[in-house]
Each structure stands twice: as structure tokens, then as C-alpha cells.
Structure 1
Amino acid sequence: MSLTKFKRNLTLALGALVLTSSAVAAEFPSRDIRLIVPWPAGGGADAISRKISNLAEQNMPVSVYVENIGGAVTATGLMQMTKARPDGHTLGVLTYDSVITLPRGNMVPGYSLENMAPIARITREADAIVVSKKSGYSSFEELIAAAKANPNTVRIGVAPEGSGPFLAVRRLEEKTGVDFNVITYPGSSTAEAEALLSGELDGAISSLGDFSGILESGDAIGLVELSSEQNPSYKSVPPISTLGYTLETGSFIILAAPKNTPADALAVIESAYQKAFESEEFQTWVTSIGVTPSWLGAAEVQGWMGELQTETFKVMDELSL
């Protein structure tokens, strides 16, 4: 084959690839999009995922339907997502356990964030310090002063070792130079709320939304959120950054697709969800449930996840967890 003919054939082949790629991009999405939420229906991650997806589908010619696949601390559903055809028609939702708990413990063979393409962070739900009205504390400064004056006497309830709230209380002790009497409670924050009401605890760490009932009744007070962003639903509770500390802990929701999903398809999805995120309806709704809307697009979210892992794993190493 002559060099001229070879170049001509190569040009035609490359042109065909470009046309094929453009055709695929133009056709996406060609069918309804499946969103796997790796938690049972009815929880916070499920509600937020459904709400923003209902709005996002208004920006696309297809519907987005949610499938709840719980199990193995989110791994069951997310591994199904990563094994789906990487064409943009199957997505998944990542939370704290997906990014921290599972990778840290190598708990599920085959589970890896490297098999996923993060699209965007949608929300953050910071941990907060909530105290019982019976405790007598009305500010973060009073709580810390009491813990310094009488080490191991201020009773703080958190989820079990290895959880975000458990790490939060240990990091808070390190940053403030205090020692709390830390009491762990398995399961949801309901047990901690009951312990606050009974006087069994002075304070507890979880999201403000988790304690919304006793906050609204006045039986508990939110002292501080472990965040750098003001929660628009609880404007009387300052972020800890305003008190001179850098400490951000809590959960979040990240949208992801299988690795090798075409960039054009990811861009369409990101655009649709960003428009949904920015809508007045979503902003009003998400703040009404006590969650902070917090967008990071595809260009930023991967780096943020890496930084979060590095910082959190370092704390876990120091605590031998």
C-alpha cells in the first residue's frame, strides 16, 4: 500500500471515529437512567437522591429512576453500579462509608473507588455538637472550659469506634486539649437523643438534622457545627471555623458513574444535576431538612475525596483504628 493511500485510509478511519463519537454523544441519553442508592428506601440519602433526580430529569429527555440496593455498608449496590455498562445510563450514590469506611478496612473484595467516575458532590451534612438543656452549657466555649477543668467528666455520646462522629470527638479533643468521657451508641442517633433527654449524656455528636426533634422542642441546644460553612437551616449554630478551629467532619452525597463512562455522557449528567441543584425548589427543600447544599463538580470532587481520605486515614492511623 502506498504511503498516500495509507494516509487517506487513516484519515477516513479517524473521521469515522469522530462521527461515531459525536453520534453517541448526540444520542445520550437514549433510555431512562438508573440511579442506585446503596441504602434502604426512606433514609436521608435516599430522599435527597430522589429529590434532585426528579428535578434533574426535567433537564433531560428521559426519566431517572431510583433503585435501592443496600448491604455491605453500601458496597453491594455500588459494585453493581461499577459492573454496569459504562455508558452513562447507570449511576450510583456515594456517602461517607463508600469513601472512607470501605476503602479503609478493605471490607469487601473487589470494591474500589478506582472503578468509579465521580461526577459531583451534591450535599454535606456536617457533624455537630448538641448538648442537653439539663447540662447547663450554652456555648462551645463553656463546654470546652468545663472539659479542661474536669477531664473525663463531660459525657459525650457518639456512634461506635471507626465512625465519623467517633473520629470527630477524638479530633476535637486533640485540637482543644481536652479529654471527654466518650460513650458510644450503636445504631442511629435516636439512642443518643434519648440519653440527652434523660440526663445520661451532657452532649452528643451527630448532624443537627438527626437531633431536629429535641432542638425544636428546646430540650437540646446546638453549640457548633464541625464545618467551615454556615448551615442555612440552623443559623444560630455557628460553624467551628468561626471559633478559630479547622475541623470538618460529617456525611455527604456524591454522584458517580462506572469507570470509563464517556466524558460527553458525564458532562450531560453533570449539567442536568447542576441545574437541578441550583434550582430554587431544591435549595429550599434541602435546607428545610437541615442539610447544607454544597456543590463540587467533576473537576474538583475527585481531589476533594482524595484529600478527605488522606486526612481521615491519618487520624485513624494516629488512633490505631
Structure 2
Amino acid sequence: MLSKILKNTFIGAIGACILSSSVLAADFPSKDIRLIVPWPAGGGADAISRKISNIAEQELPKSIYVENIGGAVTATGLMQMTRSRPDGHTVGVLTYDSVITLPRGKMVPGYSLEKMQPIARITREADAIVVSKHSGFNSFEELINAAKENPNSVRIGVAPKGSGPYLAVRRLEKQTGVTFNVITYPGSSSAEAEALLSGELDAAISSLGDFSGIIGSGDAKGVVELSIEQNPSFPSVPPVSTYGYHLETGSFILLAAPKNTPKESIAVLESAFKKAFESEEFQTWVATVGVTPSWLGSTDVQAWINDLQTSTFKVMDDLNL
């Protein structure tokens, strides 16, 4: 008799927990949603996150506010996200470093993508080679030819070892048979932009959007995008496939919540951000900053992450990185 009572009590407790979770999810969101951007304010990831969240909150009864928590190559902010209550009221922004650099290098104890529930991919952004006006180069061909004639003489700036741009320059050297004088710069691409302006660098690899200021002023010029497709926002910058090379690299914006966030809450967030993504306002704006809108929903984005890691880690193995 006692065991039956205990069994019924246990089943009742489980049922109450399930009902409580369902009620909470049905009331979601019950407060403003915190969107953690793991980079300082003012960068590309910050701008995209703020723009789409401003539109997405129009679909919700509560607001979405952005909080910038930089540090440890995005790990600091994202670990705060994963430690938050898994109720959908805290969301994080993931970039290339979050998905590739940190997991590959096991750089930060406790950081793991397994503690996150992907919601969607918002954008993709190809890396590009930008040359300084001081370099005298006006095309990708001129840059490669100079590196062939004088190995290790063309100074090219990239993010630190393990980053997308660093992998890109090493893969480019392998495919073209040249050797660059590779100089790494920690942090955002602003340091590389300053080095291009001063003549410290001949070229640099990051997105065209990251260098839009000095490109617009005429102090730098985009000569190629590391993509197989033409970027409609920059028709004068050809994809590297034009020259017979197959090299795709770049960053992206993903959204994720803490693991075990109720699927009902994930669905509400996904719906709001998808409507924002499809809005004319977002599509028009994203074109002006040279970023490619590229939606993947919650049912597909995890498989995409897995494929990206597999292919990128193989490249790293091949390059002994």
C-alpha cells in the first residue's frame, strides 16, 4: 500500500512539473528577452543583432534588449547565456569563433556547444582580401603575382591562428603556390584597418563590411571575395572562383538559447526572428552593409553546424593547425 502511494506521489510530481513547464512556455515571453552579443558594441555582429532584434520584438508582447559581453573569443558572454535559466528569456549570438575557434582549441574550460540549443542562422558573410592604396595593387592577380615574384614580401593581415581569415590565407598560399608575410592582429578588424591606412600592411583578410569605412574613403579596395558566388552588394569585387580557385570562408550570425529551453519557447523565438528576417526593412538594410541574408531554422541549423565543423577541422588537420 505504501509503495503504491509513493508511486502515485512520484507520478503526480512528474506530471506537475510537466504541466508547470507547459504553462510557463504558454505564457512565454513573460518578461523582456536578453540578447547577449559576445563582442563589444559597434562591430558587425552587434549591428546585425540589434537590427534584427529591434524588428523581431514587434512580433512579441515584450521587448528584446542587447547586452554586449565581450571576452575570451566570445566564450565569456556565451557561458553567461548557458548558465541562465533555460526558459527562453536569454538568447546568445554565435559567430565563427563560437563554433570553430573555441571548440577546436578547447580554449576555455566549461565552454561547450552541447550546452546550447540553436534557434536559427541569420546571415553569412564571406571573407575578402582588401588592399591598401599604399600597396600599389589594384587586383587579386597583381597581389598573387607579386607574392610569386618575391616570396614573403607581401604583408597580409589576418586574425590570430585558428581564425577563419588565418585558415583562409594558409589555404590560399597552398592553392596559389605563394608565400605571404602573414601578420596576425588580435581582436576586431579595426587594428587591420589602421594598419592598411598607415601602410603597415599591403592587404588584409576580413569581410568587406568590416572595411567599409576605408573602402568608402578610397584608402582601400576590395579585390576578391573568398566565395564561389558573386556578392550582389559588391558587384565590382569578384569571387575567387573567377580565378579558378575553390575557397569559401567567412563568418555568420547564429542565435542560440541554453540547452533544455522548452521547444515551445524556441518556436516562439524562431517565428519572431524569421518574420523579422523576411521583413523588407531587414532585407533592405542588410544589403546596404554587404552581408548576405541566409536563414536556417532550428530543425536544420544543428546539422549545418556539424557539417561546418567536420569540413573545417579537416582543413585544420591538413594544415597541421
Bin for the TM-score computed over the shorter chain: 0.7 to 0.9
Question: Could you tell me how far apart the structure 2 residues matched to 1:20 and 1:186 are?
Answer: 46
1: CA distance, partners of 2:201 / 2:306: 35
For 1:31 and 1:121, the matched residues in 2 are separated by 24
Which residue does the alignment assign to 1:292?
Answer: 292
| Partner Cα distance (1:153, 1:194) in 2 | 20
Query: Which residue in the other structure is 1:95 paired with?
Result: 95
Amino acid paired to 1:315: V
RMSD value, Cα: 2.7
Alignment correspondent of 2:67: 67
Distance in 1 (alpha carbons) for counterparts of 2:246 and 2:29: 42
Name the % identity.
79
> d(CA) in 1 for partners of 2:68 and 2:150?
47
Distance (whole Å) between structure 2 residues aligned to residue 204 and residue 154 of structure 1: 10
The aligned residue for residue 118 of structure 1 is: 118
Instruction: Give distance in 2, aligned partners of 1:291 and 1:238.
Output: 15
Equivalent position amino acid for 2:266 in 1: L
Instruction: Quickly say closer, same or farther: Cα 1:202–1:14, change in 2 above 3 A.
Output: closer
Cα offsets for 1:53-96 (capped at 9, x unmatched): 11101111221122222222222221121122222121111112
1:221, distance to aligned residue in structure 2 (A): 1.7
TM-score (norm 1): 0.86
The alpha-carbon deviation at position 112 of structure 1 amounts to 0.5
Cα distance change, pair 242–61 in 1 and its aligned pair in 2 (3 A) = farther
Q: What is the distance in 2 between the residues matched to 1:56 and 1:320?
A: 42
Distance 2:229 2:279 in 1: 20
- Name the structure 2 match of 1:127: 127
CA–CA separation in structure 1 for the residues paired with 2:184 and 2:38: 25
CA distance in 1, matches of 2:232, 2:270: 24
Pairwise CA distance, 1:30: 2.5
SS in 1 for 2:165: helix
Structure 2 runs not aligned, ≥5 long: 1-7
Q: Give the TM-score normalised by the residue count of structure 2.
A: 0.86
Q: 1:275: Cα distance to partner?
A: 0.8
Distance 1:191 1:110, change over 3 A: closer
Structure 1: which 5+ residue stretches go unaligned? Answer: 1-8
For structure 1, which segment, 284-293 or 111-120, has the greater mean C-alpha deviation from structure 2 after superposition? 284-293
Verify: 1:180 aligned to 2:165, yes or no.
Answer: no
* SS of aligned partner of 1:172: helix
* Corresponding residue of 1:196: 196
Q: How many residues align?
A: 311
Structure 2: which amino acid aligns with 1:50?
R
Q: Please tell me whether residue 40 in structure 1 is matched to residue 47 in structure 2.
A: no
Q: Distance in 1 between matches of 2:228 and 2:295?
A: 14
After TM superposition, the structure 1 = structure 2 runs for residues 137-148 of structure 1, keeping only pairs within 5 Å, are 137-148=137-148
Tell me what 1:76 maps to: 76
In the TM superposition, residue 310 of structure 1 has moved relative to its aligned partner by 2.0
Q: Distance in 1 between matches of 2:84 and 2:15?
A: 29
Q: 1:29 to 1:236 in 2, by over 3 A?
A: same
